[in-house]
Amino acid sequence: MKHNILLALTVGVTLPIALAACAASPAATDSPDPAATEPAGHGDIAGATEEAEPQLALLTVTTTGETALLDLLDGGERSIGAIQAPQRVATDGRYVFGDSGAGVTVTDSGAWTWDHGDHFHYYSAEPAQLGTVAGDGAATVTGGALSTAGSTGVFFAGSGEAVLLDNAALHAGSIVERFRVTRTPHTGVAAPLGDGAVVSELAAGGGSALLRVLDGSGEPSDTTAECDDPRGATTTRAGLVVLCADGAVVATADGKAATLTTVPLPAGGAHAPALLDGRTGRPLLAGAATAPDGSSGSWLFDARSLAWNWIASDSTLIRATAVGDDDQHIVALDDSGSVRVFRDGAEIAATAPLLDQADLETAALAKISLTVDASRAYLNAPALGTVFEIDFADNARIARTLVPATAPDFVAVVGR
């Protein structure tokens, strides 16, 4: 079902035009490289250095809040100060958000990628601690398409506050709230959409949750979609994907129109995953789930075709993330600590168990992150003090075992 409303979407209008202007797809294989034909100054960003390759790094955070960057290119490591002791950590590929349960601290890693559609720009800047977004209870953070423009959404379950942060201000080194609105406390989402946001709220009478489009000042619209038990949101090239207990809602902004499209899970199929994940911006997302008969697998959601696809597994999966835009390529973690690779619906490789049993306890799983880029997966093992770099295309080979000086109790892969 689709729901439409007209609203002002200044950022949503301007950015796609700018991106299209510098990222027109070549018509033939012998067309010039877009990067080679860019005008002088194309891609320049004040306060940043454009680099020739992704500035990939691990931002490690200890349980007490000490943070550091481990450069994946040269192996160098540097401390970048302390934050409030986190319970959870999230990232958009540049900023790292540490949720203490009493606010969210924002760390700028100083490394990011700008996706121009048919080519990419890579940047580095000085890392910095930007401060704290006040709030109460567990926070859900949703990044936007760009770290230098648009917005980032934060929803605090304890206070019911939805906050929209200005990404241009974050890039400049400060925290600026574009709006803050309060709803009945619940586990919800606030996610950027165009110049505004999609924010969850409880239906009248305390029923199931629904999603509502808000404009850039936080004023509510009449555009809503049901979303029982919202479980998080992800910004993709094909739209904003909000995961719900019975499916997903895809939100798009085209010109001045915002649309919410409900995509239910197939009837009689596996339960909804706890989360969906994939490579930054890609429209394919995956999440581990359980079928009604108790068997395990992962859901693959395509935000372009608005379709769910079930990938069965003989192992019990606890995490899954989509690698790319096709081939049903998934990297997953099972309950023994093994990383398993799937393609075209079948398992093609697996590692030996990599995690200590202590890391697989339910209470410890919030610390575990499984992140993929174009050719590598990264899995932190807090009890061992290591991060495994896995070449999932080469029979799930362990490419490197990294031992950061600042313990990888939490890890965010940045520069993506």
pLDDT in tens, 356-379: 999 999 999 999 999 999 899 999
Strands lying side by side in the sheet with 377-381 = 370-372, 377-381, 386-391, 397-402
Residue ranges of domains in the chain: 135-264
Question: What is the reported pLDDT for 2?
Answer: 46
The pLDDT tens digits for 101-137 are 999 999 999 999 987 666 889 999 999 999 999 999 9
List, for residues 234-245, the tens digit of each pLDDT value.
999 999 999 999
Q: Encoding tokens for residue 122?
A: 């890579």
Predicted pLDDT of residue 47: 77
Reported confidence tier of residue 29, pLDDT bands at 50, 70, 90: very low
Most confident residue range from 39-48, 111-120, 302-311: 302-311
> What confidence tens digit (pLDDT) does each residue in 167-206 have?
999 999 999 999 999 999 999 999 999 999 999 999 877 6
Bridge partner list, 297:
289, 312
pLDDT band at 208 (very low <50, low <70, confident <90, very high): confident
Kindly tell me if the per-residue pLDDT of 9 is higher than 70.
Answer: no
Per-residue pLDDT for 270 more than 60? yes
Share of the chain above pLDDT 70, in %: 88
Q: Between vectors from CA 26 to CA 20 and to CA 27, what angle results, nearest 5°?
A: 120
pLDDT score of 21: 34
pLDDT on residue 116: 67
pLDDT score of 38 more than 60 = no
**Does position 18 have pLDDT exceeding 70, yes or no?**
no
pLDDT digits (tens, 9 = 90+) for 377-408: 999 999 999 999 999 999 999 999 999 999 99
Q: Name the residue type at position 106.
A: V
pTM: 0.89
User: What local confidence, expressed as pLDDT, does residue 254 receive?
Assistant: 84
More confident residue, 372 or 327: 372
Band of residue 43 on the pLDDT scale cut at 50, 70, 90: low
The predicted pLDDT at position 267 comes to 96
Q: Does residue 256 register a pLDDT over 90?
A: no
